[in-house]
Chains A and B, each alone.
Chain A
């Protein structure tokens, strides 16, 4: 027997590669998602390699919104940096401001009046509600539901209107200043906050009925984009992404800063009511539960508020002593870290300002989440980590 087929000249084994199979092989298709794609939440470009409908690899390309903010801040006085840190996460400017201002105050040793600290907590928690409402609305929009977006924006608008009255701007406030806050809230405005919370609390239940338990939404998000706690630790994920994986870590609770130790609130983690821990649904539900916790905190702030000064004693020209400080706080999207280095009292400008942004960490998890997902599920994954590109690129 000369070969398997008993034909002279034929190869010993069946050919695995010939000209036809060479032509018939499947190849990965490179697809660019963004930077002007509505589902990428800003100017994020994700280069995805697709094998038919399945994503084989995803490579995020950053830098479309890079503004040289860190370098630019080295040529600004300490007060002038505040409008620039506003523009990091433009959906949660108050949190950004507070982290930077707290870093400067720590180096300066400023005593902040109690009313100012409470007002900061009030504004930051309101901002957290506004930011999570935005995340909720756009996430539902990504998955094809339009009306939750409108309901969320209706409520968010009321918060922004309050912020516009106290600070003068709708998004980029420059409200939290070194030593305190810019303007005091009037009693009438505080009453309106209280009324808003009373009206808003039933609305959250409505969102729950409308979106969270909806079968279509659950099917789209449960068991999609699963991140284990080990993955979150390996990448350094924080905020709702870490808590969605079931790990209870919140800087307000674990390492209380400001007056947070006085407040009674819970740290919500993923419930795994639908899907499994660490999937898109659990990251989503953590945000919705956090909104309720923020409402709790604001109610307590309103009870604790007493009249008083809102601005501490700060020199007219701020010069920090030589040294460095790393300040981190819990922002709606995770832990924001500000590393501030000062050259000494001769200089009115920071020597170096490094921002550790949570969104950058979460974007770097996309290549880990993407392989094996459908393209539509990948959109759900991007939405669930809730990134703001102003903070990713800086």
Chain B
């Protein structure tokens, strides 16, 4: 814009007209160039899915076989959405080992996460000593009732959807 704005109101009228037409044409030309040659960036969601990054924080998953009931995740959680309870192993019971070698000295009786409360901050996964609590890549878990958002990780059917959502 190297023109000097005329002060004469008659000249200014035509200058404004010229300026309006010129800047509009420049803008329309920028938009018009998107007709060809520009690759579409939108994804047709249900058919095409974006591959999530490895660190993506979606629904939590607890591998209950590796859990040592230390309750560190529940303490780190800022919104208190992890319900965990355990009891002492009976006398003489066999002490199992987790996959990274820690012994399981408590019997896990409840491990439920209220996904409706969860804020996906990832603080619980960073404190887990056995790395059994992880963020999965499952983001399609809408439910009809809010109670259905509570996921019990000791339920018998947990293995069925475990393979679907847990990261390889």
Contacts and interface: CB of A to CB of B under 8 A. Distances in A.
B20 A164 contact: no
How large, as a class, is the contact surface on chain A?
20 to 34
Given A157-B41, A167-B55, A168-B53, A215 B20 contact: yes
Given A79-B123, A84-B78, A168-B135, A210 B30 contact: yes
Q: Interface residues of A: mostly helix, strand, loop or mixed?
A: helix
Chain B contact-residue range equals 20 to 34
Contacts of B30: 206, 209-210
Interface of B: 1, 16, 19-20, 23-24, 26-27, 30-31, 34, 41, 52-57, 76-78, 119-123, 126, 135
B60 to A, nearest CB: 12
The 10 nearest A-B residue pairs measured at CB: A80-B78, A83-B121, A215-B20, A168-B57, A168-B55, A165-B53, A174-B121, A214-B23, A215-B23, A210-B27
Residue among A80, A86, A166 having the largest count of chain B Cβ atoms under 10 Å: A80
A312 B114 CA distance: 33
Contacts, number: 72
A261 interface: no
B11 to A, nearest CB: 16
Contact of B123 (A147, A174, A211): A174
A23 B123 CA distance: 66
Interface string A239-279: 00000000000000000000000000000000001000000
A164 B31 CA distance: 29
A82 interface: yes
Nearest to A166: B55
A280 B52 CA distance: 39
A172 interface: yes
B55 A172 contact: no
A169 B57 CA distance: 6
Contacts of A82: 121
Contacts of B34: 147
B24 A79 contact: no
Interface in A196-211: 206, 209-211
